[in-house]
Chain A
Amino acid sequence: MATETLITTENSYLRDFTGSNSGSETPGPQWLLNLRQSAALRFGEVGFPTRRNEEWRFTNVSPIAETPFTLAGKTDSAMTAETLSGYTYEGMGGTQLVFVNGHFQPDLSSQEFPAGVTVSTLSAAMEASPEMIEAQLGRWAKFTTQAFVALNTAALEDGAFVHLERNTVVKEPIHLLFLSTPNAGPTVSHPRTLIIAEANSQATIVESYSGTADTVYFTNAVTEITAAENVVIDHYKVQRESRKAFHVATMQLQLARSTNFSSHSVGLGGLLVRNDANAYLGGEGIECTLNGVYLGNDRQIIDNHTEIDHAMPHCNSHEIYKGILDGHSRGVFNGKIFVREDAQKTDAKQTNQTLLLSPTAQIDTKPQLEIFADDVKCTHGATIGQLSDEALFYLRARGISKDNARALLTYAFASDIVSRIKIDAIRAQLDQVLLADRALQGIAL
């Protein structure tokens, strides 16, 4: 009886969350329909994860299942270039693709892109390069094992596409902006991004997720990035969803020989946030950096799962995640590192540090190293701490108010991650959030 109810419920999710019964006007190619169908079937089988699932042990997603979300429609977003400026990065330059509630906004997006780069919607790319998209889309992010990826894939109609041709070097950042604006009721969108970097290419890519109002919505994002040999990608994800929003995102990386990939995940918003960053190091000599910094307050739940799979020898991975938790917020960090039998000379370093600003904030942190090679260097460390009373007094004894002293020390805690952000405009915005939240604006030199 219980099982039956569950299936019915989840079928209704499929209908409401993905719009699969809405008789979509642009059905897309047959292979896409097949992919969506398989993903929908899979979601129907597995349903939303429960806390009995080890990967979701610390994060209860029933608030998502219990909210009557419907797929966000293609309404007039009322966003203009002016109102958009609050969600872009002043002075960053580069090009941008803007989506509102999952729908592409050509008026707000760049019209021209540097030579050797294609930045378009996935639907446009399916028409322009059907074979390439069919071969890559849905290939890396596994809907068979990950329920939210299945849900995203079941709803897949459009998204963002970036293609870097061989030997292309793009200096200015490419910004993919996913905005959520208020709707009549709680809505869901499923942002989907596919990034294909051919050999020897280089680019900086920024994904931003923001809410324009303090409303309840659900962003269920999937990003697949595949990099061929000798690619350099600097990737930023800036999450500034509304404080009532749910944000679940999976980034799946497929890296080839001698690739240098760095990811900077900045988490500032959301009520319930879950990020999965999974990297497959499939060639020798790869450098993979996964860094993250996140702020939690009130009753926010912020869950970061990372997985780095060392399949080949001589690869380095570096990982630092830092959490700043205040109020009743709760953080989760789960860092998996696999070193397979062939992956000799692996150098993997994982660090997770959490600053608890209130006695009611909480972190569950779990490193998970599985090593099958014998000539490797793998280290991990987790620290949990509070602001030092000695340091606080020292700052106050120099005339700095208690609140500002706390902000300054909090900022200092995050500073090594912040200083690794190479885009000044993003760093400046993060500076402002970290300091302004606690009334320290204007203090930065």
Chain B
Amino acid sequence: MALLEVTDLHARVAEKEILKGINLAVNAGEVHAIMGPNGSGKSTLAGVLSGRDAYEVTGGNVQFEGKDLLELEPEERAQAGLFLAFQYPVEIPGVNNTYFLKAALNSIRRSRGEEELDAAQFLKLVREKMKVLHIDPSLLNRPVNEGFSGGEKKRNEIFQMAVLDPKLAILDETDSGLDIDALKVVADGVNALRSPDRAVIVVTHYQRLLNYIVPDFVHVLSGGKIVKSGGKELALELEAQGYAWLEEKELVAA
């Protein structure tokens, strides 16, 4: 069975239907890219999967390791091994980055019946991950995301992902607004975490990130549906031709 199995997923925001029947299967070890123009439903899909309550699921279902994902609270999804790298990471003044991450990790460990890490064990883990991801240690002692540059925020998301060690990571437009150096850091971070046990869904508007995180599959989302799936070469095709040809094709099909 696939790690994540999305079947005929429909969702709306307020009265507006955004997702109109998404089908997607993601296996452990795979990297899937979901591309699409603005308003195609990319962020809605990421939001629905992570449990944001602004969205109402009106049909279909989502299985995560055989469990009904949509029945779970956001924290239960995280505890089950789902991670969302936010498009807009939230600034939380007054909460120390390290304190927050330790609370998160221990909450996840506790839910799995694992021993919580004490301060020393936690710092050891954090140092290891920092080295791999080239994170500036001073970020750790600052309030969560407060005063971080755009690049620092995105790097912090990847760093959190590394520490929390999820089974499925969803990167929601993590590349948007990043310069090429920051983009490479993010990509290196994701690549370092690629493993046969872990799957990654990269949601992006641009093909550029996929030069560095090479996906196994590319899906094109348009009008709330996956209109085309293929290998990594599909991303290049999209880059060359834009999204317009897809929409035309859709119009013709309709």
Bound-state CA distance A391–B94 (Å) is 12
Pick from A231-239, A246-254, A374-382, A397-405 the stretch touching chain B.
A397-405
Tally inter-chain residue pairs, CB-CB below 8 A.
86
Distance in angstroms from B143 CB to nearest chain A CB is 8
Whether A370 sits at the interface, judged by CB under 8 Å, is no
Residues 393-445 of A contacting B (Cβ, < 8 Å): 393-402, 404-405, 408-409, 411-416, 440, 442-445
Bound-state CA distance A390–B75 (Å) is 14
Chain B residues, Cβ within 8 Å of A401: 75, 107
| Residue-wise interface mask of B (64-76) relative to A, using a CB-CB cutoff of 8 A (1 in contact, 0 not) | 0000000001110
Chain B residues, Cβ within 8 Å of A405: 75
Chain B residues, Cβ within 8 Å of A404: 103, 107
Whether B52 sits at the interface, judged by CB under 8 Å, is yes
Choice from B50, B92, B98, B111 contacting A391 with Cβ under 8 Å: B92
Residue of B nearest to A408 (CB): B95
Determine if A412 and B95 form an interchain contact, defined as CB atoms under 8 angstroms apart: yes
Choice from A402, A411, A414 contacting B75 with Cβ under 8 Å: A402
Whether B90 sits at the interface, judged by CB under 8 Å, is yes
Chain A residues, Cβ within 8 Å of B105: 399
Chain A residues, Cβ within 8 Å of B119: 445
Determine if A399 and B95 form an interchain contact, defined as CB atoms under 8 angstroms apart: no
Choice from A390, A408, A416 contacting B90 with Cβ under 8 Å: A390
Bound-state CA distance A402–B75 (Å) is 8
Determine if A397 and B74 form an interchain contact, defined as CB atoms under 8 angstroms apart: yes
Chain A residues, Cβ within 8 Å of B78: 396-399
Given contacts A412-B95, A443-B102, A445-B99, contact A394 B89 (CB under 8 A): yes
Distance in angstroms from A217 CB to nearest chain B CB is 35
| Residue-wise interface mask of B (41-85) relative to A, using a CB-CB cutoff of 8 A (1 in contact, 0 not) | 000000000111100000000000000000001110111000010
Determine if B75 and A409 form an interchain contact, defined as CB atoms under 8 angstroms apart: no
Distance in angstroms from A314 CB to nearest chain B CB is 32
Chain B residues, Cβ within 8 Å of A414: 94
Choice from B100, B111, B116 contacting A398 with Cβ under 8 Å: B100
Determine if A409 and B52 form an interchain contact, defined as CB atoms under 8 angstroms apart: no
Bound-state CA distance A5–B100 (Å) is 60
Determine if B74 and A409 form an interchain contact, defined as CB atoms under 8 angstroms apart: no
| Residue-wise interface mask of A (24-68) relative to B, using a CB-CB cutoff of 8 A (1 in contact, 0 not) | 000000000000000000000000000000000000000000000
Determine if B160 and A398 form an interchain contact, defined as CB atoms under 8 angstroms apart: yes
Residue of A nearest to B50 (CB): A397
Whether B40 sits at the interface, judged by CB under 8 Å, is no
Determine if B92 and A399 form an interchain contact, defined as CB atoms under 8 angstroms apart: no
Determine if A399 and B90 form an interchain contact, defined as CB atoms under 8 angstroms apart: no
Given contacts A393-B52, A394-B90, A408-B95, contact A399 B111 (CB under 8 A): yes
Bound-state CA distance A51–B180 (Å) is 65
Bound-state CA distance A306–B29 (Å) is 62
Determine if B103 and A408 form an interchain contact, defined as CB atoms under 8 angstroms apart: yes
Determine if B104 and A399 form an interchain contact, defined as CB atoms under 8 angstroms apart: yes
Chain A residues, Cβ within 8 Å of B73: 396, 402
Whether B212 sits at the interface, judged by CB under 8 Å, is no
Determine if B107 and A400 form an interchain contact, defined as CB atoms under 8 angstroms apart: yes
A interface residue count range (under 10 / 10 to 19 / 20 to 34 / 35 or more) = 20 to 34
Bound-state CA distance A412–B146 (Å) is 13
Distance in angstroms from A243 CB to nearest chain B CB is 27
Given contacts A412-B93, A415-B94, contact A397 B51 (CB under 8 A): yes
Bound-state CA distance A391–B52 (Å) is 12
Bound-state CA distance A414–B93 (Å) is 11
Given contacts A394-B86, A412-B94, contact A399 B99 (CB under 8 A): no
Determine if A391 and B90 form an interchain contact, defined as CB atoms under 8 angstroms apart: yes
Whether B31 sits at the interface, judged by CB under 8 Å, is no
Bound-state CA distance A401–B106 (Å) is 11
Chain B residues, Cβ within 8 Å of A443: 99, 102-103, 106
Distance in angstroms from A443 CB to nearest chain B CB is 5
Whether B168 sits at the interface, judged by CB under 8 Å, is no
Distance in angstroms from B160 CB to nearest chain A CB is 7
Given contacts A394-B86, A413-B94, A415-B94, contact A408 B100 (CB under 8 A): yes
Chain A residues, Cβ within 8 Å of B53: 393
Choice from A394, A402, A416, A440 contacting B92 with Cβ under 8 Å: A394
Whether B218 sits at the interface, judged by CB under 8 Å, is no
Determine if B95 and A409 form an interchain contact, defined as CB atoms under 8 angstroms apart: yes
Bound-state CA distance A404–B111 (Å) is 14
Residue of B nearest to A440 (CB): B103
Residue of B nearest to A443 (CB): B103
Most buried by B among A390, A397, A413, A415: A397
Determine if A396 and B95 form an interchain contact, defined as CB atoms under 8 angstroms apart: no
Bound-state CA distance A401–B77 (Å) is 11
Chain A residues, Cβ within 8 Å of B107: 398-401, 404
| Residue-wise interface mask of A (288-310) relative to B, using a CB-CB cutoff of 8 A (1 in contact, 0 not) | 00000000000000000000000
What are 11 inter-chain pairs, A to B, with CB distance below 8 A? A388-B90, A394-B86, A396-B73, A396-B78, A399-B78, A402-B73, A404-B103, A408-B103, A442-B116, A443-B106, A445-B119
Q: Which 6 A-B pairs have the closest CB atoms?
A: A412-B94, A399-B78, A398-B104, A396-B74, A399-B108, A394-B90
CB within 8 Å of A: which residues of B?
50-53, 73-75, 77-79, 84, 86, 89-90, 92-96, 98-108, 111, 116, 119, 122, 143, 160, 164
- 12 extra interface residue pairs, beta carbon distance < 8 Å, beyond A394-B90, A396-B51, A408-B103: A391-B92, A393-B53, A397-B50, A398-B78, A398-B104, A399-B78, A399-B104, A408-B95, A415-B95, A440-B103, A445-B96, A445-B122
